[in-house]
Structure 1
């Protein structure tokens, strides 16, 4: 690393560094001009050695007491080494020497921002705007302060002002997307990026952010087109390939998604997320061996990848290896113990293994974490019903209805349980509610208890609602 760095520095700069280090070894005092000192300071900053860089600024300030640049550098280094008071003091001295130096106010603004003293940060950035030759970066810094203040509308104003000066500023484009996202203003975001692209059709960052906005509005076809433009302009744009893969998944185009995900490996090292996403696509295509291979790659790379541990369990479950699947579901739950999908899979595997009490416990967890999962309420009540626990089954569905008052499936199921319990009048009341909620789903009742097709009072009520 060091040799590579030395190669980047000019011979003059290198000689200055060697001469400085010789001076330190000899405990002597050599004179350096201002440019030499700047080179030596930059050398240590590049080497991530702020302590040595600070030591150089001491010599520089002593030899060049009227050069504000060294006091600013010193303040910057005090800031990164958490010596805030000294940083402020150095900036104060610099301001006395050269009050029109924009860097003084930019740095002071950044320090105040880090201390969450936002008003003082904004005041300093405003002063910097008056003195700086180019202001696009300062405008972006002001936007960051407003973001920290959670004033995203004002942040957008300053990001746009920054982009007016530098159309190529990728940071600005991404920050703008972030603010629109926080404010949930995807339509405004789309309008801005479309106008931006009209002015700069070769901005891959603008196409990428436009695609992300389409994606968030579930306009997946449009998102894919915009990702394609971003990739066309920047063919090594790994994030665009990855997000395009996600959009293809949303359209159930799993085979295409796999190819796109794999393309990211040409431009960045494979990561656990991408391996897991590929695994999920193979799983959706019922190619369980391939799915499991990619899930295993994912957890090997990142053992904390809960979705991949879960995926391995799903592939085993598909092959009716229920006992083995439990091990992997448990691994997933160790990492994310409030995930209702993981608990649902556990409940199902326990049920298939005949471990009914464990299945019931797991269903309680599913519904604790996701009380709006209609399928889970139905499945849980079925397990209870099959155990002859009719009253518990009906009480479970009643809880489900309280959490999902518009779910016709739950009302129809309640009718079946009430008939099984001999509570015919209550059953007919629930049947009316079910038919009012969704008459087309009345077939559910007969799927569950076919014998009810011969029940005159049920058929009579249904005929009133279903022509």
Structure 2
């Protein structure tokens, strides 16, 4: 009985590679070549795939499927014109082959012509008997177009074809999330679980939805069912730990994080979570141990360095905090969060020049948070550089024009710098935004409390606001 090489793909591949090493020429049928080519392309061995296509077409010059695989390689190599010409030839031979439309759509997609790609895929859909892959490709094109509603429907059709198509299931949930339709996601997943009650992936996604909706008890139940369905599902244990953390059940959370470590190699994220739980429980030595393990496991994880820095900062070990944040900056000097943390530590150490430099680095690298501008202005105020402090706040107010906090601080600095008209203008704006926050101004600039025009302005604003 002759062996069907498609049942034993390794046999065909071994035979093909043996042929390449010798001068012998072996004959393969067209289906064998398709199997061999798919093997090489799927494993990223493009040159061997191209060699198999070449020999395949020498032995089977009219093999449509092999020619389509050649188109696939041409598209991969961005040789769109050559691919288009070959597709034109193939369409003259078989105008009802959906793969031709799929490859044309692929070319358009790679050139960012996603509407054209959708149109071609719709044509493929009209002539296809098996539309599963086409719906999946349509879903991806709709994602490129930010049409999450249509993308969701396409991926739903994929799940209808195959309940175990978890990639499409993830994409359906992703679309619900992006549309902020969390109730819709919960309904869809519960409906899916009616048909597939032991699907750990669906339970896991349902738990994440409940977590997002702050429904922690329901999230715990969902993650428990995911674990019942697959007791080695690391993601379910990890997400369950996050829920327990939110609920203040830190010891239970630690237990779940430790299970993830026992199942597979430890991860920096698990160490970090365990460290945070121990810190919340007041187990400082254990917290420190796990934080150190976090940065040892992944030296590039910024959250790990920030956690160990914050740990020492909280204990007022500012020199140690500075040591660790500088280690982080040496690893990634382009991280604005590192520089912002560095600035806070220098400020705590009364090293205002270095704090000023660090805040400038943070802003230059794109950190425009409100407290960054406030704290940087405080640094400059502490060294008596009121002009520079004013400039910093003016920049900050461009980002936060409705911030009474920044306006009160700016008004006080204008007074410090003897710029009375500017101070009056900013005080008036700040009071109209939030008169109650005037107490922040009084606390920071008590020396101006007896100014007559200021008392009059406060009185007028309070009258108009009542």
Q: Residues 61 and 405 (structure 1 numbering): CA distance in 2 closer, same or farther, change over 3 Å?
A: closer
2:110 aligns with: 114
CA distance in 2: counterparts of 1:57 and 1:248, whole angstroms: 55
CA distance in 1: counterparts of 2:402 and 2:112, whole angstroms: 47
CA distance in 2: counterparts of 1:112 and 1:259, whole angstroms: 50
Deviations 1:258-312 (A, max 9, x none): 2222222244433333333333333333333322322322222322222212222
Shift in Å at residue 84 of structure 1? 3.7
Is 1:295 the counterpart of 2:291 in the alignment? yes
1:265 corresponds, among 261, 268, 273, to 261
CA distance in 2: counterparts of 1:274 and 1:245, whole angstroms: 10
1:136 aligns with: 132
Shift in Å at residue 68 of structure 1? 1.7
Paired residues of 1:118 and 1:145 also in contact (CA < 8 A) = yes
2:165 corresponds, among 164, 169, 176, to 169
Shift in Å at residue 70 of structure 1? 1.9
TM-score with structure 2 setting the length: 0.74
SS in 1 for 2:164: coil
Is 1:308 the counterpart of 2:313 in the alignment? no
Q: Residues 350 and 24 (structure 1 numbering): CA distance in 2 closer, same or farther, change over 3 Å?
A: closer
SS in 2 for 1:258: helix
Is 1:95 the counterpart of 2:91 in the alignment? yes
CA distance in 2: counterparts of 1:321 and 1:194, whole angstroms: 50
Alignment of structure 1 residues 149-164 onto 2, 5 Å: 149-164=145-160
1:282 corresponds, among 278, 287, 297, to 278
Shift in Å at residue 187 of structure 1? 3.5
Paired residues of 2:373 and 2:392 also in contact (CA < 8 A) = no
Is 1:52 the counterpart of 2:60 in the alignment? no
SS in 1 for 2:265: coil
SS in 1 for 2:27: coil
SS in 2 for 1:141: helix
1:331 aligns with: 327
CA distance in 2: counterparts of 1:284 and 1:174, whole angstroms: 33
Residues paired across the two proteins, number: 454
Q: Residues 272 and 436 (structure 1 numbering): CA distance in 2 closer, same or farther, change over 3 Å?
A: closer
2:64 corresponds, among 40, 62, 68, to 68
CA distance in 2: counterparts of 1:100 and 1:38, whole angstroms: 20
Shift in Å at residue 144 of structure 1? 0.6
Deviations 1:216-256 (A, max 9, x none): 34444433333333233233322233333333333444333
Shift in Å at residue 384 of structure 1? 8.0
CA distance in 1: counterparts of 2:11 and 2:406, whole angstroms: 82
Shift in Å at residue 326 of structure 1? 0.6
- Alpha-carbon RMSD across the aligned residues, in angstroms, is 4.8
TM-score with structure 1 setting the length: 0.74
CA distance in 1: counterparts of 2:360 and 2:16, whole angstroms: 71
Q: Residues 344 and 101 (structure 1 numbering): CA distance in 2 closer, same or farther, change over 3 Å?
A: closer
CA distance in 2: counterparts of 1:89 and 1:411, whole angstroms: 65
Runs (5+) with no aligned partner, structure 1: 1-8, 451-457
Alignment of structure 1 residues 396-435 onto 2, 5 Å: none
Is 1:256 the counterpart of 2:270 in the alignment? no
